[in-house]
């Protein structure tokens, strides 16, 4: 690494120079043989140097702060968020302690709500997100059930989505024989098993459609899942 020294005199430095980053010590002493006028010039130079030091220090601090702010922002990853949602849907088929309640894909946020009969289950579940992903969440109670709502940053404001493309995609997707499909001019609805919802979501992602719509996935009391896809109004 380079040894930057802004305090020693200009020119080639001796390796044993005692100059250091100390703003409490002057590195340049006034010459004894100098008259009053040169001494004043020396003070002006010293003041100018201090000004440069302050500017340089301020610039370094600003750059460091900006770097921290940029690095602290969670990066949006379509694949990561979709994989999380699919994992929740799959686990809801065999986990009794934790169940997926609903998922909402909005233009800037994906909200996943998990429910559990015991609060301890949610607290243990959320520990992984606190330590690793740093995902924001909220725990609350409703009708004697415990819920945790996870918020994932999302970019779902892309244009170009239409119901016709969703209908075409449904024709290409392999479903079970337990599905029902309905649609209007602005909404496409699919109800079926967890595997049906997962298959359709993956098809949407593969065709670059999932960020062109707002979506919601509901886990019904019957055990089936309901997927609603709406055209973005942006």
Distance of CA 62 to the CA centre of its chain: 22
Q: Using DSSP bridges, classify how beta strands 213-219 and 187-192 pair: parallel, antiparallel or unpaired.
A: unpaired
For 176-201, give the DSSP string: -SS-EEEE-SSEEEEEE-HHHHHHHH
Burial class from Cβ neighbours inside 10 Å (0-12, 13-18, 19+) for residue 204 reads: buried
Nearest Cα to 133, choosing from 74, 203, 50? Answer: 74
Instruction: Report the range out of 81-95, 134-148, 151-165, 217-231 with the highest average pLDDT.
Output: 217-231
pLDDT computed for residue 130 by the predictor: 57
Global model pTM greater than 0.85: no
Mean pLDDT of 22-48: 44
CA dist list (Å): 9 to 6, 17, 26, 47, 120: 8, 10, 11, 15, 65
Mean pLDDT of 126-135: 66
């Amino acid at each position: 690494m380079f040894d930057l020294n802004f305090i020693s005199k200009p020119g080639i430095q001796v390796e044993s120079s005692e100059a250091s980053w100390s703003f409490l010590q002057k590195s340049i002493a006034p010459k004894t043989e100098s008259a009053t006028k040169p001494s004043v010039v020396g003070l002006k130079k010293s003041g100018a140097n201090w000004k440069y030091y302050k500017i340089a220090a301020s610039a370094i601090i600003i750059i460091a702060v900006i770097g921290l702010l940029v690095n602290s922002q969670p990066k949006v990853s379509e694949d990561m968020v979709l994989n999380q949602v699919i994992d929740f849907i799959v686990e809801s088929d065999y986990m009794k302690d934790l169940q997926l309640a609903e998922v909402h894909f909005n233009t800037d946020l994906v909200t996943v709500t998990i429910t559990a009969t015991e609060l301890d289950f949610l607290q243990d579940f959320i520990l992984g997100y606190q330590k690793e992903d740093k995902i924001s969440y909220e725990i609350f109670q409703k009708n004697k059930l415990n819920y945790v709502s996870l918020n994932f940053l999302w970019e779902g404001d892309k244009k170009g989505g239409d119901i016709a493309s969703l209908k075409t995609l449904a024709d290409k997707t392999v479903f079970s024989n337990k599905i029902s499909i309905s649609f209007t001019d602005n909404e496409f609805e699919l109800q079926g098993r967890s595997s049906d919802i997962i298959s359709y979501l993956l098809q949407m992602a593969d065709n670059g459609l999932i960020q062109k719509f707002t979506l919601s996935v509901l886990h019904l009391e019957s055990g089936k899942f309901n997927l609603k896809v709406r055209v973005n109004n942006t």
